[in-house]
Amino acid sequence: MRFLLVEDTAKLARSVRDLLALDGHGVDTVASLAEAGDCLAATSYDLILLDIGLPDGDGRAFLAQQRRQGRDTPVIMITARSAVADRVDALDGGADDYVTKPFEMAELEARIRAVLRRRGGATQTRRDFADVTFDPLAATLTVAGETRELRSRELRLFEILIAAPGRIHSKEHLCDRLFSYAEAVSDNAIEVYVGRLRRKLQGSAARIETVRGLGYRLIGP
C-alpha cells in the first residue's frame, strides 16, 4: 500500500513513516497542504494521514476540498484537539477516522487496518485462492498444510495480486503502490519480490505469471 502522511512535526512524522515502512508500506511524507496537493496531483494513494493544524492551513478545509473534487481516498485525521466538537467536525467533513495526539503507534496501526477494511482498500482478512490460504494479519501463506512466512514487501505485493486475480499489473504500477518517492528503487526491484513470492508458492496450483511486455498476474489452475 502507498500512504501519504501530512504532518509538520518532524519527529512524529519520522516515527509514523518508519513504523509503516516496517509493515511494507510506501509512505510519502510532507509538512504542508501545498505539498500534499502536489502529491495528490501526481499519484493516487491508498490512505492519507492528515494533520489538522498545518503551517499553511486547516487540514479539515483541505479534506473538504478534496471531497468536493470527488477524491474518495480514505483519510485518518491527526489532531491535538480532544474536544468532541473538533472530532465531529473532522468526521462530518469527510474523514474516515481520527487519532488524538499523543497516540500509541499500535492504536494507529489498528485504526489504519479498520479504515482499509471498511473502505475495501486492502485485504485484511484470510483469503483462499486455488489451494493457497493467505493471512495478511499473520503475514503467511499456507500451501498444502505448510505455513510460509512473508516479509513485509512480499506481503504487500501479494495483497495487490490476490485482490484482483487474473489482472495484469505493470512493474510501474507495482512500484508506485509499494514504494515512496524518497526510496531509491532499482529497475529489477519488483522482479526480486516476485521471485521471492514464487518460491513461497512452490508446490501450489497458484502461480505468478509474467506477461511479456505488460507485467505480472496471479493465476490459478
Residue 22 sits in a domain whose CATH number is 3.40.50.2300
Question: 119, 144, 164: which is the final residue of a domain?
Answer: 119
Question: 95, 119, 143: which is the final residue of a domain?
Answer: 119
Strands 57-58 and 53-54: antiparallel
Grid coordinates representing 183 are 526510496
* Domain identity same for 147 and 113: no
Strand partners, 173: none
Supply φ then ψ for residue 128, to 5 degrees.
-105, 140
Closest listed residue to residue 140, CA positions, set 151, 124, 129, 128: 151
* Domain identity same for 177 and 78: no
Cα–Cα distance, 51 to 99 (Å, whole number): 10
* Domain identity same for 28 and 110: yes
What is the SS3 assignment for 14?
A: helix
* Structural domain containing residue 202: 127-219
- Its pTM stands at 0.73
* Domain identity same for 158 and 51: no
Cis peptide leading into residue 102 (ω within 30°) = yes
* Domain identity same for 93 and 170: no
* Domain identity same for 36 and 137: no
Grid coordinates representing 176 are 508506485
Task: Check the CA dihedral 22-129-133-123 and report its sign.
Answer: positive
* Domain identity same for 37 and 67: yes
* Domain identity same for 112 and 135: no
* Domain identity same for 109 and 157: no
In this structure, are residues 165 and 218 in contact, taking their beta carbons and an 8 Å threshold?
yes
Q: What is the pLDDT along the chain (221 residues), one digit of tens a residue?
A: 899 999 999 999 999 999 998 888 999 999 999 999 999 999 999 999 999 999 999 999 999 999 999 888 999 999 887 667 777 877 888 899 999 888 999 899 989 988 988 876 444 578 899 999 999 888 899 998 899 999 989 999 999 999 899 999 999 889 988 888 878 777 688 999 999 999 999 999 999 999 999 999 999 98
Question: 92, 119, 146: which is the final residue of a domain?
Answer: 119
